[in-house]
């Protein structure tokens, strides 16, 4: 049955908005969207286009006059560069050691805060959880330097209280890597906890209450009742933490500058060294674009894994 046939006999058809009013609405929408579109172009699209363009050139700041178009040669060099893949392996190892711990601890905190009857304690705990993630990466790196200094750091002073000698943390390659893992977990576990707590708030209370009447097993309730509602939050956490780990720079640079040796030279540190210390802007741009493609592929894999897309 058509719309005309469904119209009540004798009722007047709704009048179309005047053309002038339609133009005013379109202009209003455009005015509200313009700042966001301009900001996106300025900080996202334009720099990305510029990076792609520079990645096609042999562009070094020490010999700008000899800049030449090389096509995909920079990408071929990056994909066959053992230094690039060594940095990617270190970054991947950082991810698989830090992020699962963040998710496990964050889920535990979220489940504890999700319990009924906490009242003001829940609000104060949420406020406290914001503080580490509100601290900038560079400040966290400086905090790590101060607390883990071999001579006057708080960590070594605490070891001295139990009769253990000072430990060279940031000057030892193995220790420096695990120090980065520790501070990354410290900073971003609260973020994971807050996101998962928001996911738990979407579970219907009556469903949870019925499940608690059926079983006392917290694991059963988590697996069969709460976890299905946590899937979107877990996907968001994985995508955001993957992107953050792949571009981790500020904290590591202020802590170790990628050292000692290359123990903490993650992929973002390598890109910075290539561009800012070796002045090879073309190669650094190619490395950054390859990193962007890897991030997009991983994000897509997470979505397919959790939502079983075909």
Q: What is the DSSP string of 260-300?
A: STTTT--HHHHHHIIIIIS-BHHHHHHHHHHHHHHHHHHHH
Task: Count the helices and strands in the chain (H runs, E runs).
Answer: 15, 2
Helix (H) or strand (E) holding 153: none
* CA separation for the pair 21, 18 (Å, rounded): 5
| pLDDT for 10 | 54
Average pLDDT over residues 157-180: 87
Residue 35 has pLDDT above 50, yes or no: yes
pLDDT tens-place string over residues 117-136: 666 777 777 778 888 888 88
Average pLDDT over residues 30-45: 87
Query: Which option is the CATH number for 73-307: 3.40.50.2300, 3.20.20.140, 1.10.3720.10, 3.10.620.30?
Result: 1.10.3720.10
Residue 245 has pLDDT above 60, yes or no: yes
pLDDT tens-place string over residues 38-70: 998 888 889 889 999 999 999 988 888 888 998
**pLDDT band (50, 70, 90) for residue 4:** very low
DSSP-assigned letter for residue 256: T
Average pLDDT over residues 171-198: 91
Q: Give domain limits for the chain.
A: 73-307
| pLDDT for 2 | 46
| pLDDT for 118 | 66
Average pLDDT over residues 135-140: 88
Of 138 and 16, which is predicted with more confidence? 138
CA distances, 184 to each of 45, 133, 154, 239, 249 (Å): 29, 10, 18, 16, 11
Average pLDDT over residues 170-182: 91
* CA separation for the pair 308, 246 (Å, rounded): 25
* CA separation for the pair 211, 57 (Å, rounded): 62
**pLDDT band (50, 70, 90) for residue 81:** very high
Average pLDDT, the chain: 85
What percent of the chain stands above pLDDT 90?
A: 35
Average pLDDT over residues 273-294: 92
| pLDDT for 1 | 44
**pLDDT band (50, 70, 90) for residue 310:** very low
Contact 94, 258 (CB under 8 A): no
pLDDT tens-place string over residues 219-242: 888 888 888 888 888 888 988 998
Average pLDDT over residues 200-210: 84
């Amino acid at each position: 049955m058509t719309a005309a046939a469904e119209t009540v006999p004798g009722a007047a058809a709704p009048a179309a908005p005047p053309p002038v009013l339609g133009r005013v609405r379109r202009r209003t929408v455009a005015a509200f969207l313009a700042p966001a579109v301009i900001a996106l172009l300025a900080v996202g699209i334009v720099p990305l286009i510029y990076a792609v363009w520079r990645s096609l050139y042999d562009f070094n700041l020490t010999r700008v006059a000899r800049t030449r178009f090389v096509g995909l040669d920079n990408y071929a060099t990056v994909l066959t560069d053992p230094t690039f893949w060594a940095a990617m392996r270190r970054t991947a190892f950082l991810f698989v050691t830090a992020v699962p711990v963040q998710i496990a601890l964050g889920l535990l905190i979220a489940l504890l805060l999700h319990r009924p009857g906490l009242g003001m304690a829940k609000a104060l705990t949420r406020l406290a959880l914001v503080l580490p993630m509100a601290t900038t990466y560079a400040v966290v790196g400086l905090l790590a330097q101060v607390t883990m200094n071999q001579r006057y750091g708080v960590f070594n002073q605490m070891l001295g209280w139990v009769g253990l000698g000072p430990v060279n943390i940031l000057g030892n390659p193995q220790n420096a890597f695990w120090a980065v893992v520790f501070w990354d977990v410290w900073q971003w576990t609260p973020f994971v906890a807050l996101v998962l707590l928001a996911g738990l708030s979407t579970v219907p209370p009556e469903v949870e209450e019925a499940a608690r009447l059926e079983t006392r097993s917290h694991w059963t309730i988590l697996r069969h009742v709460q976890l299905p509602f946590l899937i979107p939050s877990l996907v968001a956490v994985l995508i955001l933490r993957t992107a953050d780990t792949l571009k981790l720079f500020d904290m590591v640079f202020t802590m170790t500058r990628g050292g000692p040796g290359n123990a903490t030279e993650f992929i973002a540190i390598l890109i910075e060294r290539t561009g800012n210390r070796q002045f090879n802007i073309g190669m650094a741009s190619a490395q950054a674009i390859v990193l962007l493609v890897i991030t997009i592929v991983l994000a897509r894999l997470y979505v397919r894994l959790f939502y079983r897309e075909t």
